[in-house]
Amino acid sequence: MPEISLPIRLGPISPAAPGPLYQQIVDGIKREVLANRLSAGAALPSYRVLAEQLLVSLITVKRAYEELEREGITYSRQGLGTFVAARGNDRTRADRRGKARDALRAAIHAGHEAGMSDRELLQMLRDEFKAGSTESADELVRGGLP
Amino acid sequence: MNPFAIEFRDVQKSFELNFTLGPLSLSVPRGSIYALIGPNGAGKSTALNMLMGLGAPGLGNIRVLDHDLPADEVDIKRRTAYVSPDMDYRAWGTVGRVIDFIRGFYPDWNPDRCAELQFTFGVHRDARVDALSFGSRMKLALILALSRDAELLVLDEPTLGLDAIARRQLFAELLRFMTAEGRTILISSHQLMDLERFADHVAVLNKGRVLTSGRMDRMTERYRQFDARILRDTQVAMTGVQFIDRSGERVKILIDQDLAPADVLEQLKIEVLAEIPLSLEDLFLALIMAADARGGWWPQMSAA
């Protein structure tokens, strides 16, 4: 089967992975936008072509594209296709930050439920930063978290 | 242009052994892969055969690609490719002779596609048809159908006898077929996991009738399944609610959110123990079990 070259490569979309298939495509395209492999104005493949490449139904791709457009990551032009919006990258980043904040809130809630104090939770966060060895995390810890 | 490639309108036909198909109404959107699923004997093949002019409906009418059956049968068949497990090509001897014979009938035959498909499915021209396995004969039928630039593919159990690899290849080929605008596939199969992934729409057929139909992605969101405990004052009859299993006070219920009231769980007065996520296969089982239960053992339940 001839390989169709696409501007993007998404990982395999699998029912075994968490989340519905369309959400996996949304997340995959957001990842590409965030990493600047898809920059503003870049055209996404037609949904028929992407469906064939990812081996998912047309409606799954359509729904993913609708979701991306709804979130302002992409826009579509009748008859021309779907493109990455000028502020798609910012919106994706904002979206990611929102998710990180939600995850932190959930962690704080879980800590309180386990009877931990705020001080203990902060210490746990520091320990986690130390355990992860990325430079920025080290700097954060040296710079002194509150 | 008509947005539907196929329309069954109130189609009905009675057969011996008390089987009646219909009244059946189905609309297959142009440009979609439409899955027809149902237990053995639900009427899937009967419905597909009617599309191909094999048996006329007793009542109702069928439109295919903006033409009427049976009046425009020839025109419809010229634009439609059909595969069923009943096709028998042994009389021609070898695969190559079958292909050379069939291609002569169709102006839309694409020889390059045919060569590619033979390679993909690993079916060789000089193989004898009667020496092929059941699965390879199915592959031959699929090669013949997919080698044409047809507008409509009607596939009756095309996954029968195919191994997991061949099944995946088949669905990849079907999506490839769909990359051209305006093409439509109507497929019946028991491979529900594959269909959930590849099909755009689905209709569930049981005892000759459509139990439910709609967009595949909405289907598993529309229904919710709960493991619950019934209480003394539990309501058992409510629109959009079906009890699918019971042992003692433990029940499994299926809720159709399109039909049930918004506060259905409060109204039912059940104690929900867990929500059970629904795959297409789970939904299929629940729908068939609920349909069977309705006619039988369930209504005399007393929640004591």
pLDDT digits (tens, 9 = 90+) for A64-115: 999 999 999 999 988 889 999 988 777 777 877 888 898 899 999 999 999 9
For B172, the closest of A21, A55, A59 (CB atoms) is A55
Q: Quick one: B6 exposed, middle or buried, by C-beta within 10 A (0-12, 13-18, 19+)? A: buried
Contact between A52 and B175 using a beta-carbon 8 Å cutoff:
yes
More confidently predicted of A53 and A16? A53
pLDDT digits (tens, 9 = 90+) for B77-136: 999 999 999 889 999 999 999 999 999 999 999 999 999 999 999 999 999 999 999 999
Distance from CA of B201 to the nearest CA of A (A): 9
Give CA–CA dist B87/A93, Å, rounded.
Answer: 56
Mean pLDDT within A43-60: 92
Give CA–CA dist B124/B96, Å, rounded.
Answer: 8
B217 closest CA partner among A23, A46, A5, A110: A23
Q: List chain A residues with CB under 8 Å of B31.
A: 58
Give CA–CA dist B182/B3, Å, rounded.
Answer: 10
pLDDT of residue A7: 54
A&B contacts, CB < 8 Å: 52
Distance from CA of A38 to the nearest CA of B (A): 23
Contact between B197 and A22 using a beta-carbon 8 Å cutoff:
no
Residue of A nearest to B176 (CA): A52
Q: List chain A residues with CB under 8 Å of B166.
A: none
A29 close to B (CB below 8 A): no
Interface confidence: ipTM more than 0.90: no
* The pTM of the whole model exceeds 0.90: no
Mean pLDDT within A38-46: 89
Contact between A48 and B178 using a beta-carbon 8 Å cutoff:
yes
Give CA–CA dist B212/B256, Å, rounded.
Answer: 10
pLDDT of residue B227: 93
Band the pLDDT of A135: cuts 50, 70, 90: low
Residue of A nearest to B33 (CA): A57
pLDDT of residue B304: 36
For residue B205, list its beta bridge partners. B210
Give every residue of chain B whose pLDDT is below 50, as ranges.
295-304
